[in-house]
Amino acid sequence: MSKKVVTFGEVMLRLATNRRERFTQAREFEVTYGGGECNVAISLAHFGVDVSFMTALPDNDMGQACVNYIRQFGVDTSDILRQGNRLGIYYLESGASMRASKVVYDRAGSSIAELGPGDVNWDDVFDGKDWFHWTGITPAISKIAAETVGEATRQAKAKGLTVSCDFNYRKNLWSGEKAQAVMKPLMEYVDVAIGNEEDADKCLGVKAEGVDVTSGELDPEAYKPVVEELVSQFGFSQVGITLRESQSADDNDWSAIYWDGSEILIGDKYPVRIIDRVGGGDAFSAGLIYGNIKGLESRALIDFAVASSAMAHTFHGDFNLVTEKEVLAVAGGDTSGRVQR
């Protein structure tokens, strides 16, 4: 029997400027949808994984449009609650060259921000599931959302699910001090920890020494002590940290390190010409989850996760739309980009 995954978090209406315009230039926005945990679910669906997405959306046309959009990719949306008053929104201004991308949130009072403990029947949501994934974005949305994440995580662990968490620190939502106050207690229930090169610092207070994430160069060896400290403090069974070397808004180098419970592995580095960088870390999470539920050995697992997340940067929008076969080809060394015909 194949293993089943459930992810939980907010999905938002994404309004992006066209042609890399600034917000102040734009006279129209492109409509798509996205959100960390939803991005993971859609990536897993493309890998052939049985996956469901749990959230709360308003019971109106905007909520239904969002459900329809997610469902087209093969994600089970049957657990989504229809309640609350609004769909959260985020605005994206894509950068270019040395000009950074920008995100502006408009998500206060969204349906999931008002989803409280007791509103979800987690026994039903987790019934028949093997893996539960959430990110640090959801508890940052509101105090009540943080309480609901705690309820979900505790119940998932009690029911024997493997629990993964992508720290996903968002400075526009909370401070490092607040993040640590909320996130540290929740780590008791997390098996697989995932983050980028600075998440562990902001969310858990574990920092790589002598590292400047704005320099465009990162030494993977500097993150081995971070992994060791995370495991020592929180008892994680696995840790994955993505490494983004950003030369500009257009060109990044992408890699990761992975602790499998016994050794630390460094993934291959991919030079990436950015189409859209939003969702790269989510694609890594999906690759890591996929590798676990498929029983890949550690080297194959990190190769798959890094390759799939590198490829995520080649799509417009939040979602990683590559297939298992395409990722395996890239992980196997075929990065030529030759026309397939």
Q: Is 61 strand, coil or helix? A: helix
pLDDT at 268 over 80: yes
Q: Which CATH superfamily is domain 4-329 in?
A: Ribokinase (3.40.1190.20)
pLDDT at 1 over 60: no
Look at the pTM and tell me if it is higher than 0.75: yes
Question: What pLDDT is stored for residue 169 in this prediction?
Answer: 95
Tokens of residue 242, six digits: 């993505």
Question: What pLDDT is stored for residue 275 in this prediction?
Answer: 86
Question: What pLDDT is stored for residue 197 in this prediction?
Answer: 78
The domain spans of the chain are 4-329
What pLDDT digit, counting tens, does each position of 34-43 carry?
A: 999 999 999 9
Question: What pLDDT is stored for residue 277 in this prediction?
Answer: 79
What pLDDT digit, counting tens, does each position of 115-138 carry?
A: 999 999 999 999 999 999 999 999
Average pLDDT on 129-158 reads 97
Q: Helix crossing, 298-312 with 324-331: angle to 10°? A: 110
pLDDT at 341 over 80: no
How many Cβ atoms sit within 10 Å of the Cβ of residue 213?
A: 16
What pLDDT digit, counting tens, does each position of 50-97 carry?
A: 999 999 999 999 999 999 999 999 999 999 999 999 999 999 999 999
Question: What pLDDT is stored for residue 2 in this prediction?
Answer: 82
In sign, the C-alpha dihedral spanning 182, 36, 85, 92 is: positive
Question: What pLDDT is stored for residue 318 in this prediction?
Answer: 87
Q: Where are the beta strands (DSSP E) in 63-153?
A: 81-82, 89-93, 102-106, 131-135
